[in-house]
A and B are shown apart, each in its own frame.
Chain A
C-alpha cells in the first residue's frame, strides 16, 4: 500500500479535530483536580455547554454570544457543584454524579425544540491556505478559532501551573490545603474558582461539538466523552502536555478504526473503542504502585472535603 503523504496529513487533521473537546474538557478538569477537587460531572457540564451554545446560536444568530454563553452555562452549572462541595461540604463523588445525571436530563429537556435544526456555518481561519502545502496545510490551516485555542491551551495551562504565582497557589491548595490555609490562602475561594474555570472549559468543549464538529443538537451527543476526559486527566498524570498527546490517541482511535475498516482490516470495533479505557486503567495501576511517584503526581487532597474547624 503506497502511503500518500497528503492522505496521512488528512488523517492527522481528522484526529486533531476529534481530540479538541477532550483537550478542552481535560485541561479544565485538570485545574479543578489540581486544586484538590474531583468533579465527576464533566459529562454533565459538557452537554449543557453543547445545548447552551447551540440554542443561543439558533436563537440569537450570534456565534460570539453562543460560544461565550456556552462557557457561561458551564460556569453556572458548576457553581451548583462548587456550592455543594465547598460550602455545604457534600461528598464529591455523589455530587459529581448527580451533576452528570442532572446535566444530561436538563439539556435534553431544553434541547427538545432544537432537534433537527441545522447549525450555522462557523468561520474558519486561514481557509485560503488550505491547499498550499501538502501534508502541513490541512493540519495548520482552515480551522475554527476554538480548534487553535484548544491546541494552545495545554501549553498555556502548563505555563500557568508552573510559572505563575496563582498557579503555585492552586497547586499548594491541592497538595496541602491545611498548610495553604495556615498561610492565609483562602482555600475555599481558590477551589471555587478552579471549579468554575473547569466548568467553563467543559462548556466550551460541549459547544465545540454542537456548533462545529457536528453542527446540530442531539440528546446525549457528548456520548461519554466526558468520562474519557476524566480518564485523560489521570492518564496524563495531571500534566497538561501529556493531555494533548493522550487526547489525540483517544480521539484518534475512533478515526483510525473507521479507516481500518475502509481498507479492509478486520478488528472488532468494540475492541478498539475499549482500548482507551483499558489503557487508562493500566496507567493508573502503574503510577499508583510507587507511593512516592503517586505523591508526586496526584494532588494529595484530591476528593477529600476540606473543612476548617474554627
Chain B
C-alpha cells in the first residue's frame, strides 16, 4: 500500500485507479504552450492569496496593493517599464543560450562586469561633456559583458567544463571585484571614503524619455534586442536550429552541440545583453557605481526567460509580470507592512507552477471515468 503512495510513476498509480489515463503526446501541444504561463500566473495568485491569508493579511487587499496599486499612476507605470527593461534585455540574451542547451546561470555576473567596465569608462570622462561619451560607455558595457561570458563559453568548448557551475562561480567573483573597486581605488576622493564612486557626468547618463519619470533610453536597447532576436529566431537558419532543439528532448543533443562556434556565439550574445542591462542601470537610475548595482536581475531574468517561453514577445510580457513582483513587494510593504520578501516568494512560485504545468505539454490527461 505504501508503495502505491510513492510517486513511482504517475501513469501506473492513476491507471490502477482507473480514473485517468495519462498519455504521452506525439508532439508538444501548441495551445498548451501558450496557456501554461497564464495558468502558472493564475495559480501563483491563488497561492499568494492563500499565503497572505495565513499570515493574517486580507488576501484581496494585499493582492491589490501588490499588483494594481504600483502601476495605478503614470509614475508607477514608468517604474514598471524601468524595472522590466533590464529583465527583458537579459532574458532575450538568455533565450539564445537556453534554446541551444547552454545553461548560462551567470548573467548576473555578466551584468556586474559590464557595469564595472562601463562605469570605469564613464569615470574616466567624469568631468567632460560630449555626445560621444555615452555611446562609448554603452559599447564598453556590452564588451565587458561579452568578455565575462566568454569565460564559461571557452571553458565549455575547449575544456569540456560544465558552464552552469563556472558561470555561477563567476557571479560572485564579479560582485567581489565591484565591491573592491567601489570601496577602494574607485571610491570618490571627495566622498570621505564612503563606498561609492563619483557621479557620472550628464553626458554619460542615459537621457530620460519623459520629464519627471525615470524611464530612460535604455528601453530602446531592450526593444532593439527583442526585434533582433525575433529576426534571428524566425528568419534565419541559426534560429531554426535553436527552435527545433528547444521543443524536443531528443534532438536537443544534436542541435545543441553543433559546433563550438555556436556555443561561443550564444554566450557572447547573452553576455552583451546582460552587460547592456548593467550599463542601463548605472547610467540610468543610479548614475554612479555602488557596491551593489542589481537586485539579482540576472537570476530573476532566468525566470523571465522561462515564463516567456524563450520567445521574444513572450519575454516582453513575462518581464512586465516579474517586474511587478518587485514593485508590488515594495508597495505592499509600505502600505500594509507585508514583508518585502513576498516578491521573491511570488517569483519562485511562478517558476514552480510554470515548470509543473509544463507536464501538460508532454502528457495528456484523459478522463476515462471510474469503472468499478
- A interface residues, Cβ below 8 angstroms from B: 38, 40, 44, 80, 83-84, 86-91, 93-95, 97-106, 108-109, 112, 186, 188-189, 192, 219, 224, 227, 230-231, 234, 268-271, 273-274, 277-278, 280-281, 284-285, 288-289, 291, 294, 303, 305, 307-308, 310
Determine whether B209 belongs to the interface, using a CB cutoff of 8 Å to chain A: no
Asked whether A94 lies within 8 Å of B306 as measured between CB atoms, the reply is: yes
User: Is B8 an interface residue, CB under 8 A from the partner?
Assistant: yes
Determine the main DSSP class of B at the interface with A.
Answer: helix
Q: Are A192 and B6 in contact (CB under 8 A)?
A: yes
How far, in Å, is B358 (CB) from chain A's closest CB?
6
- Selected from B11, B347, B359, B362, the residue in CB contact (under 8 A) with A105 is B347
Given contacts A84-B356, A101-B351, A109-B55, contact A284 B345 (CB under 8 A): no
Assuming A105-B345, A289-B160, is B7 touching A274 (CB within 8 A)?
A: no
Would B173 and A93 count as touching, CB distance under 8 A? no
B29 within 8 A of A: no
Which of B111-119, B174-182, B216-224, B272-280 touches A?
B174-182
Contact A102 B348 (CB under 8 A): yes
- A287, chain B: closest CB distance, angstroms: 9
User: Contact: B165 with A268, CB < 8 Å?
Assistant: no
Check A280/B165 contact, CB under 8 A, given A80-B352, A105-B341, A108-B341. Answer: yes
Known contacts A94-B351, A277-B170, A285-B155, A102 near B345 by CB under 8 Å:
yes
Name the CB-closest residue of B to A309: B24
A and B contact pairs by CB, cutoff 8 A, 11 listed: A84-B355, A87-B10, A90-B358, A94-B355, A95-B355, A97-B302, A98-B351, A99-B348, A189-B6, A268-B184, A281-B166
Docked Cα-Cα span, A84 to B339, in Å, equals 27
- A66 vs B233: C-alpha distance when bound (angstroms): 52
The smallest beta-carbon distance between A41 and chain B, in angstroms, is: 10
Interchain CB contact under 8 A, A105 and B342? yes
Nearest-CB distance from B265 to chain A (Å)?
Answer: 21
Chain B 155-166 near chain A by CB (<8 Å), digits 1 or 0 = 100011110111
- In the bound complex, CA of A274 to CA of B178 (Å): 12
Give residues in B with beta carbon < 8 Å to A: 6-11, 51, 55, 103, 105, 155, 159-162, 164-166, 168-170, 172-173, 176-177, 179-180, 183-184, 249, 299-300, 302-303, 306, 339, 341-349, 351-352, 355-356, 358-359, 362
Q: How far is the CB of B340 from chain A (nearest CB, A)?
A: 8
Residue contact B303 to A101, C-beta cutoff 8 Å: yes
Nearest first, the 9 closest Cβ-Cβ pairs linking A and B are A102-B348, A105-B344, A108-B341, A98-B351, A105-B345, A270-B180, A90-B355, A270-B176, A101-B348
**Closest beta carbon of chain A to B333's beta carbon, Å:** 11
Question: Other CB < 8 Å A-B pairs besides A97-B299, A284-B161, A308-B9, 16 of them?
Answer: A84-B355, A88-B355, A88-B356, A88-B359, A90-B358, A97-B105, A99-B348, A101-B303, A102-B345, A108-B339, A109-B51, A192-B7, A277-B173, A278-B169, A280-B165, A289-B159
For A308, the chain B residues whose CB sits under 8 A away are: 9
Which of B166, B179, B348 is within 8 Å of A284, CB to CB? Answer: B166
Give the CA-CA distance A303 to B163 in the complex, in Å. Answer: 12
Q: What are the residues of chain B within 8 A of A230 when measuring CB–CB? A: 165, 168
Contact B345 A109 (CB under 8 A): yes
> A188 touching B351 by the CB < 8 A rule?
no
Q: A98, B352: Cβ atoms under 8 Å?
A: yes
B169, B172, B179, B344: the one within 8 Å of A102 (CB)? B344
Q: What's the Cα separation between A105 and B347 when bound, in Å? A: 9
| Complex Cα gap A130–B299 (Å) | 45
Q: Is the beta-carbon distance between B172 and A277 smaller than 8 angstroms?
A: yes
Residues of B within 8 A of A270 (CB): 176-177, 179-180, 183
B176, A273: Cβ atoms closer than 8 Å: yes
* Complex interface: chain B residues within 8 A of A108 (CB): 339, 341, 344
